[in-house]
Structure formats: C-alpha cells, structure tokens
Structure 1
Amino acid sequence: MDDLMLKDLAGQVGVALAGQGLMLASAESCTGGWLGQIITSIAGSSAWYERGFITYTDISKREMLGVSGKTLEQNGAISREIAYEMAEGAITHSHAQVAVSVTGIAGPDGGTAEKPVGTVCFAWLMKDGLARTEMRYFSGSRESIRREAVAVALQGVMDLLQGIPPMTA
C-alpha cells in the first residue's frame, strides 16, 4: 500500500471519527510515528486526532502509557496483551475516546522462532470498553512491514467504529 492509499484510508478514518464526534489517540512502537504522520498529513485532522505516543522501548511503554512491567515480563513487548495495555494507556493519558496501538518486529533482526520478524500486534479500544486485539504476520522489508502495519491499524479503527468483528489470526 503506497502513501497515497494510506492517506486516503486515514481520511476515511477521520470522516468516521468526526461523524461520531470522537477523537483518536495512537500508541506506536515498531511504526515509530508513521501512523501519526499519515494521520496528521490530513488537513483538519486536529478535529479528530488528539495525540500520539511513540513508545519504542519497554521503559517508554511503562512510563508514558502505564504498561505493566509484569505483563511485559510474562508476555514480551510483542503481544496482544501489551498492545491492549498500550491502547488502554493511550485512552487514559489523553482526551480521546478511541485508541489504536501497534507493537511488533519490523526487522531485519530481532525475530525469534516464536515471534519471527514481521510479527505485529494491534489493539483498538473505545473508552466505553469495546476492544479488539489482533496479531498479524507480514513478510518483506522493514519498510513494507511497517507500511502494512499502518494500514491494518487504520483499517482496524474503521472496523471498530463500524462494529465489524475482528479477524482471527
């Protein structure tokens, strides 16, 4: 998915959020702010994008988002549990009603047999408690993995707002 398609998808997310009077917060690890960059490339996104957190290290996840050290120890940073806690922290530490989080291994190094390069976990959360998590496996270069993660994150926000059930991974 190219930048134009990502920007178009971000625009659709904005229309959906604004139409429901909702604000979005993002919490990113492996995408390093790319999600926030695509969102803020949309003119007027301040009407529906409240803030973004770039939490690349475990300590930043704990300090900025309140992710539990115990959860990190038990599940690792690349897990649905951490993605959920990141989204929960984004809601808690913002004025947004909707949050999306992304944590993964974009490579080219860092993968294991259990969590190979391309493993990315997502969470989407609404302040009212409606939540989804998902684990995906992408292949390709570091850039392509990150680009696909941004696309899935944005599409997941749309799905959450539309009440579409999560895909099974």
Structure 2
Amino acid sequence: MDIPRQVVSFLSSRGLMLATAESCTAGYIASLISSVPGSGSCLDVGFVTYSPTGKAGFLGVREETMKKHGLTSEQVAREMAEGALSQEACCADVAVSNTGVADSVAGDGPPPGTQCFAWSYKMRGGEITSFSETKVFDGERNEVRRAAALYALSRIEHYFNCLPKH
C-alpha cells in the first residue's frame, strides 16, 4: 500500500490542499507527499517547528498550552494544525500535525515512540474542525519518525469522512 500516493490521489480528486505542521517528523510528512508525481496540485506549505518558540511564533501555539499539557500532547498538536490553517498565506483546506518523542528522554516524560497527531479541516464557512490521536511506535529513532509520518498521512481521508455533512 503506497500511502503517500493514495493521499495525493484523495486530495487531488477533491481539489483539497494540504499543509503540514511538523515537530518530531521534521518535514518527513511533507517529503513523503512531495515524492509523489503530481503532488504540487495538493501540497501547499509545510512548517517544521521543533522548538517551543517556533511552535508559538510560527503556528500560534499558546505557551500556556505547552506548559500545561507538555510539548508531546494532543492539545499542542491541535494548536499546531489549526495554526497552520490560520496563517494568512496558507491556502490549504487540510492540515496534519505531529509532535512527539522518537527516542528516550531524560526525566519523567512520555515513553519513547510517543507521537501526538492532529488533523484539521477548514470548512466552507471558514471554521476549523480538528481531530487528534496519540500513538506509541516501536523502533529506533528514524523508524519511529517514518512510522509516524506514514500514520499521519494514512488518517487524512478517515477524518475527512468523519466531518459533519452540510
């Protein structure tokens, strides 16, 4: 199953544009999409915001959210995806975001491989509807990053089909 190709086909067939807001995957999601011929018709913009200041400054993630829930949280992932869609120059209808830990971290943080995702959709009236999930992937650092990027893409159509019908 070629997930990036399926996503490009899905987005293109519906005239949708995608934005990515990536932390742990660091551009991997956008890279997978751009590897598909014809992806230029459906990939609008990709943000890589690894640091808290990047998440706040470029995507509008609130410091309060990061402090209260931690960087690896569905709340931060939601604000990342919604922030991408809210950027003035962003023409996307769909945003996917990822934040997490690919390997072990010092202290009492989330377990290695923990990844938080959000999928946001700009509705016809301009409002944004979002969905989020947390998953834990096994493997070495780059195996976790690849699995997370593919998973993020694999759920775009699923959550599109969960949107309220107008």
CA distance in 2, matches of 1:149, 1:111: 21
Residue 92 (structure 2) pairs with residue 70 (structure 1): no
Shift of 1:130: 2.7
Correspondence for 1:117 among 107, 112, 129: 112
Give the root-mean-square deviation of aligned CA atoms.
1.5
Residue 127 (structure 2) pairs with residue 133 (structure 1): no
The aligned counterpart of 2:51 is: 57
CA distance in 2, matches of 1:61, 1:16: 28
Residue 15 (structure 2) pairs with residue 25 (structure 1): no
> Contact conserved, 1:80 with 1:134, CA < 8 A, in 2?
yes
Correspondence for 1:100 among 92, 96, 99: 96
CA distance in 2, matches of 1:155, 1:38: 12
CA distance in 2, matches of 1:136, 1:106: 12
The aligned counterpart of 2:162 is: 163
Shift of 1:11: 1.2
> Contact conserved, 1:111 with 1:117, CA < 8 A, in 2?
no
Shift of 1:162: 2.8
Q: Which runs of 5+ in 2 are unaligned?
A: none
**Count of residues in Structure 1 that have an aligned counterpart in Structure 2:** 157
* Amino acid in structure 1 at the alignment position of 2:8: G
% same residue: 40
| Poorly superposed stretches of 4+, deviation over 4 Å | 111-114
CA distance in 2, matches of 1:58, 1:130: 24
- Secondary structure (helix, strand or coil) at the match of 2:155 reads helix
Shift of 1:86: 0.3
Shift of 1:59: 0.6
CA deviation digits over 1:16-63, x for unaligned, max 9?
111111100000000111111111111221100101000011110011
- Secondary structure (helix, strand or coil) at the match of 1:163 reads coil
Shift of 1:114: 5.0
User: Taking structure 1 as the reference length, what is the TM-score of the superposition?
Assistant: 0.88
User: Taking structure 2 as the reference length, what is the TM-score of the superposition?
Assistant: 0.89
